[in-house]
Structure 1
Amino acid sequence: MEPTVKREYTSSNYLLPADDVETERLRIQHRILTKAFGNQLALAPITFHSNDRVLESGAGSGIWAQELSDFHSQNNLLLDIECIDISDKQFPHEYPSNIHFSIHSVTDLPREWQNSFSYVHQRLLMAAMNDSRWNMAIDQLYDVLKPGGWIELVEVDVKGFGFGVGPNSKRLVSLITSLFASKGVVLDLGVYLPKLLAKKGFIDIQCEGRNIPIREPMDNDEFNGSKQLHDLWMGMKTPVLTGGGFGIVGSEKEFHELLEGSLKEWNESYKAYNPWYTIVAKKPLEVE
């Protein structure tokens, strides 16, 4: 069994930790996702201008924001980027002066931000969100966008999990699905989010999906999707055990054995994948 490592959690609503181990996992996940969507940091059809305000919700280490800033600064375009998260544990110590980090929840944004952002980007908040929080979050993001501004949400669709390729990984899918269901996590975000955005008044809604392979034929150690997925679920060990293992694992030892067995199956198969969606939508120019 792997040695027990104490992980840092910031909220009972969010199932993943906020620590250096998770920051490194997010870095690799960022690379995998960016590559899968054509090496584009933003799919929304927006033309940025200098001093446009951009909001990154659930920023973590801010890797996405810093790369967006670097990309546009090469064309002498300076964006004003606000990065928010519910914890500052993953915020970087050094970053450009046009990027700002602050502790805020997407369900309760500052009133002075209303109608001030040209673009909002949010990625993988699924593990922190139930139906009620999604509704509050989309209300808040609608309010802070300028008329004509764009929102972009990047999420995984739990109902479409495709990484159950053997006895261990199939049990893991059942375990994670049970954990999410116990927390009220919305599972079918590829269907749910476009409908919610339309209900809230967004227009020009587009949803682009990718079934991202866990292991590619030309995989390398740095972007090893198998290890990244293993580390993702390892981060959920505490809530799994707190929930009693959901009839699938009965101890920390069994949890580790299940993950190690799943990792072996992913490393021996090219069939495992995760379904990701990028959903973009526009706030109307004329708001009723």
Structure 2
Amino acid sequence: MTNYKRKKLDAFLSLSFCRLLSVIYIVHLPHLDATIEVTLRSMVASTFSMEYPKANRSFTSMSHLRRQLLPKTKDMPSGTGFGLMRLFTRKSPRSHSSKKKLPAGEQESESTTSTMSSTETTSIHRYDSGRRYNARQDIPYLLPNDEEENDRAHQQHWMINVAFGSNFDAPVQDALEKGIEVLDSGCGPATWTLEMAEKYPNSTFNGTDISPRFPQTIKPPNCHFFIHNIVDPAPFPDSTFMFIHQRLLSLGILENEWDKALADLMRTLKPGGWIELLEISYAQYENAGPKVTLLMQSVVTYGKSKGLNPGAAHVLDDMLTQAGAVNISSRRVAIPLNHGGKLGDLFWDDFKDIFMALYPVVGRLHSDLADIEEYKRFLDACKTECSEHQTALYWYRSCGQKPSNDE
């Protein structure tokens, strides 16, 4: 038995254990106190590792996991309904004001205290308001790089797939089936990379990210990962890839470094190959009330103060043109926020998780929201506002082709 097949068997056995846990969880749910409930959820999530490649196709989020573990809604006892189906996406109670315990082996090298929260810094990570971030001073990325952020990214991937109807727009389907080299730039926890690697086994997928959030052990044989800062020269020769995918880095790349980053990606793209970018607009939205507007403008204000370009979504075509791409096409999709069915529910979960992670940013800009409990109440009110106003946010996906040698 190969090492990879052995790991697949281990994951299958783990899933069986997950099913047993879920039965215990459902049967005894009315009698569980909060501590036991949280523990069971944690055991289910950690037992079925998100690093297993099958999980990244069938269980790209905890919402996918619950569909496999729990019976169909129509087969459930009366009164359980959709609320029970959402149990596995509920977050554990956590404090956003206390210090986070450092992982084993990491020593605190610096500690500072502010009126907003406690902040800890190690040589690898820094901790702010109970969340973990990359500690490098040259990394402007605003969002955390912890497991909670990975869970959010897994579910966000599924949401984007549903909203756009596909994992990509570039005309590379036939090439992927035949076998090509693919780069997922800024892959994060690699949900897109792993799903694509399993769907297209003849192609080879390479993921890069500044933080090692991607799987480092259990992964498909056609999947490889590298720690890399996108604004540095990529560790690949010229003309390596036929398809390059990158998304949601407007809060991670400085405005004056986008051209350099895209130029290097184009260097590694083969003539005739395709590059695709996806971003959300923080500057324009549909039917936004005052609370959503405050949150989105906070990101724009703070992002610009750090040299970022929160409006990158609106200039993707221009940036691809500047990088030398041709045959550029783009799509804009308005994703509903807390209305319009399950997609709107998923996007609200994603939106709320993002802005809980951005609490240090919003709280420092708005003193009336500096208290974490007040901030949570504000987000709850924001949820109602989105439903009443029928708010939607715009997402942009653009792709372009590197000219062939005879063009």
TM-score by length of 1: 0.87
Distance in 1 between residues matched to 2:341 and 2:380, nearest whole Å:
22
Following superposition of structure 1 onto structure 2, how do residues 74-89 of structure 1 map, counting pairs within 5 Å? 78-89=202-213
1:44 and 2:164 correspond: no
| 2:249 matched residue in structure 1 | 125
Distance 1:96 1:2, change over 3 A: closer
* Paired residue secondary structure (2:175): coil
Residues 116/255 of structure 1: CA separation in 2 closer, same or farther (3 Å cut)? same
Q: Which runs of 5+ in 2 are unaligned?
A: 1-92, 97-128
Q: Which moved more, 1:184-193 or 1:273-282?
A: 184-193
Structure 1: unaligned runs, 5 residues or longer = none
The CA deviation at 1:260 is 2.8
TM-fit CA distance, 1:252: 3.6
Worse-matched range after superposition: 126-135 or 54-63: 126-135
Aligned amino acid, residue 140 of structure 2? N
Mapped contact 1:61–1:92 kept (Cα < 8 A): no
Matched, 1:257 2:381: no
- Amino acid across the alignment from 1:55: L
Distance 1:59 1:278 in 2: 16
User: Aligned letter for 2:246?
Assistant: Q
Per-residue CA distance 1:20-50 (angstroms, 9 max, x = gap): 1111111111111111112x11110123154
Deviation at 1:152?
0.4
For 1:13-52, what aligned pairs fall within 5 Å after superposition? 13-38=140-165, 40-46=166-172, 47-49=174-176, 50-52=178-180
Pick closer, same or farther for the CA change 1:220–1:284 going to 2, 3 Å.
closer
Q: How many angstroms does 1:247 deviate by?
A: 5.9
1:269 maps to 388
Q: Which has the larger radius of gyration?
A: 2
| Alignment match, 1:150 | 274
> How many pairs were matched up?
278
Residues 84 and 112 from structure 1, CA distance in 2 versus in 1: closer, same or farther, beyond 3 angstroms?
Answer: closer
**Which residue is 1:208 aligned to?**
331
Q: Distance in 1 between matches of 2:308 and 2:285?
A: 14
- Compute the displacement of 1:55 (Å): 0.2
The amino acid across from 1:255 in the alignment is Y
The CA RMSD measured in Å over matched residues stands at: 2.5
- Higher relative helix content: 2
Flag the structure with more relative contact order, 1 or 2, with Cα contacts below 8 A and sequence separation at least 6.
1
Partner of 2:116 in structure 1?
none
Structure 1 residues 102 and 175 mapped into 2: Cα distance closer, same or farther (>3 Å)?
same
User: Any idea what SS the aligned residue of 1:48 has?
Assistant: helix
Superposed structure 1 runs of 4+ greater than 4 Å apart? none
- The 8 Å contact of residues 334 and 393 in structure 2, kept in 1 or not, is answered as yes
Matched, 1:228 2:228: no
Structure 1 residue identity aligned to 2:355: W
Listed one character per residue, the Cα deviations across residues 44-96 of structure 1 (whole Å, up to 9, x for unaligned) are 012315441100011111110111122223xxxx1111100001034364210
